[in-house]
């Protein structure tokens, strides 16, 4: 499989390996915890890193629900297959527990040259045998860290992997953390060879997930990509979203139902509680479900950004970029494809494409601006949105000195992601009227804008950014 992008992650991993080559940081060995959503390419990234590293590597992948004694034997077999040690040294190994297995591993690794040791799907090992984390900590402290080893621990359950390095867990303070995100919009633009406005749309559809992006042939239009992907139930775009959800939640769980409510467009607590149900979900049930989704990194809770706190007016949105599209369209389109009616799935997307895309692009716009700011013009350290209880008006971008409550508002801005209409004086007028209601603004607060199709001349905007600016922010 072609390996594309990810240069920054490879650079980070190579720096860690170089430290091991030079004797480590206090101890010869170093550990890195690698986490990220399923399908984001963690294992493929580490595989590529091992291939180009120039050093021997032991790569072990756990198997879900497998007995711990069989997992330990698989680790021994991975060592035998790695050529790190002579295979004959592994023939008689019968590990009784994880402490003995990891002690044996540390004993057979060389002391005179670096080795990479990869343990993939750590959460499965922890769930199968609660002694694994403690054994890892003990062996790391006593033996493994004293060898020139780069230990890479990989996992897809972000909440479990985050807990692995928390202060009350055995491995706390012993590992650096590397979170693997989806491909950036700049990487998607390079892979698809699309102009910036179309590349942003491609990123919104694929979420930057490698398998879905690789299926987008260079130069392919959005319409052609969707026609091809929505006709195949096994396409990465359709099957991948279902796989991600099933990996987190069985189809019958309440948490999944809540996630689907948010994905369908419900954003307030009350609307999520009542979406598609005869009786609302009780607050005492919904609140912990939303907290779980936040902890797993699937949902973000947002508050209006201004100089006055507003904790009662929060909104929820899907954080995972690939799930935003899949929850809105992919679930139903998958059913249409399985019935042999992909035309219905394509029509579903086309009917709502413009209305869905506008709100969907706003998080990317804000994240992109935070990579561009502060600059010589703007002393801005937070970019958010503002809305009142009725969502009338709403301001797409508030630039401020800090969040969640600003001391000073630097600008108010609008995002217009239209195919064939430039940002014009009518848009400026709407933004100007909305600005006056945001706490911390005045008639002198500068106005800014982001537009997919450019801007009319001589607009009274303090700054204006295009799709090209957004892509360049991630380059």
Chain length of the chain:
475
Q: Where are the domains of the chain?
A: 7-179, 185-359, 361-473
Q: What is the pLDDT of residue 435?
A: 95
Spatial neighbors of 129 by CB under 8 A, at least 6 apart, are 68, 71, 98
Q: Are the beta carbons of 32 and 175 closer than 8 angstroms?
A: yes
Residue 1 has pLDDT above 60, yes or no: no
**CA dihedral sign of residues 300, 303, 305, 308:** negative
Spatial neighbors of 223 by CB under 8 A, at least 6 apart, are none
Residue 394 pLDDT grade (very low, low, confident, very high; cuts 50, 70, 90) = very high
Residue range 143-152: mean pLDDT, rounded: 96
Residue 289 has pLDDT above 60, yes or no: yes
Q: What is the pLDDT of residue 250?
A: 61
Separation between Cα atoms, residue 432 and residue 463, nearest integer Å: 14
3-state secondary structure of 470: helix
Separation between Cα atoms, residue 78 and residue 80, nearest integer Å: 5
Class of domain 185-359: mainly alpha
Residue with tokens 């008689």: 92
Q: What is the pLDDT of residue 278?
A: 60
10-53 pLDDT per residue, tens: 999 999 999 999 998 889 999 999 988 888 889 999 999 999 99
Question: What does pLDDT average to over the chain?
Answer: 90
Q: Which CATH code fits 361-473?
A: 3.40.1350.10
Separation between Cα atoms, residue 412 and residue 410, nearest integer Å: 7
> 135 is written with which tokens?
């054994």
Residue range 318-336: mean pLDDT, rounded: 89
Q: Are the beta carbons of 230 and 238 closer than 8 angstroms?
A: yes
Class of domain 7-179: alpha beta
């Amino acid at each position: 499989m072609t390996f594309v992008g990810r240069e920054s992650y490879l650079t980070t991993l190579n720096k860690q390996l170089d430290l091991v080559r030079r004797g480590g940081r206090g101890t010869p060995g170093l550990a890195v915890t690698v986490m990220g959503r399923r399908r984001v390419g963690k294992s493929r990234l580490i595989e590529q890193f091992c291939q180009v590293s120039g050093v021997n590597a032991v790569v072990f992948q756990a198997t879900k629900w497998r007995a711990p004694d069989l997992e330990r034997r698989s680790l021994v077999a991975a060592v035998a297959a790695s050529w790190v040690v002579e295979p004959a040294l592994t023939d008689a190994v019968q590990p009784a527990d994880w402490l003995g297995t990891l002690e044996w591993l540390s004993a057979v690794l060389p002391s005179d040259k670096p080795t990479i040791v990869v343990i993939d799907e750590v959460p499965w090992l922890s769930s199968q045998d609660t002694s694994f984390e403690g054994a890892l900590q003990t062996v790391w402290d006593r033996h493994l860290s004293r060898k020139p080893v780069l230990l890479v621990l990989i996992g897809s359950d972000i909440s479990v992997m985050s807990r692995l390095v928390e202060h009350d867990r055995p491995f706390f303070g012993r590992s650096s953390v590397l979170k693997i995100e989806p491909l950036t919009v700049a990487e998607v633009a390079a892979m698809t060879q699309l102009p910036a406005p179309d590349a942003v749309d491609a990123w919104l559809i694929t979420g930057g997930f490698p398998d879905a992006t690789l299926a987008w042939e260079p130069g392919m239009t959005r319409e052609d990509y969707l026609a091809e992907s929505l006709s195949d139930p096994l396409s990465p775009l359709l099957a991948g979203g279902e796989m991600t959800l099933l990996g987190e939640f069985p189809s019958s769980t309440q948490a999944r139902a809540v996630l689907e409510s948010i994905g369908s467009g419900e954003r307030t607590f009350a609307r999520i509680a009542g979406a598609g149900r005869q009786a609302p979900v009780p607050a005492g049930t919904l609140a912990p479900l939303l907290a779980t989704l936040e902890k797993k990194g699937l949902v973000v809770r947002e508050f209006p950004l201004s100089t006055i706190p507003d904790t009662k007016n929060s909104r929820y949105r899907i954080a995972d970029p690939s799930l935003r599209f899949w929850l809105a369209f992919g679930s139903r389109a998958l059913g249409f494809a399985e019935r042999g009616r992909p035309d219905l799935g394509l029509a579903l997307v086309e009917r709502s494409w413009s209305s869905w895309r506008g709100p969907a692009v706003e998080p990317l716009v804000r994240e992109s601006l935070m990579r561009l700011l502060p600059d010589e013009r703007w002393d801005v350290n937070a970019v958010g949105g503002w809305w009142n209880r009725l969502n009338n008006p709403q301001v797409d971008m508030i630039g401020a000195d800090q969040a969640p409550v600003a001391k000073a508002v630097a600008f108010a801005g609008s995002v217009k992601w239209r195919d064939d209409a430039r940002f014009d004086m009518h848009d400026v007028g709407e933004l100007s009227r909305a600005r006056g209601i945001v706490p911390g603004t005045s008639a002198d607060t500068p106005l800014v804008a982001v537009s997919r199709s450019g801007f009319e001349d001589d607009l009274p905007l303090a700054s204006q950014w295009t799709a090209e600016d957004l892509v360049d922010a991630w380059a």
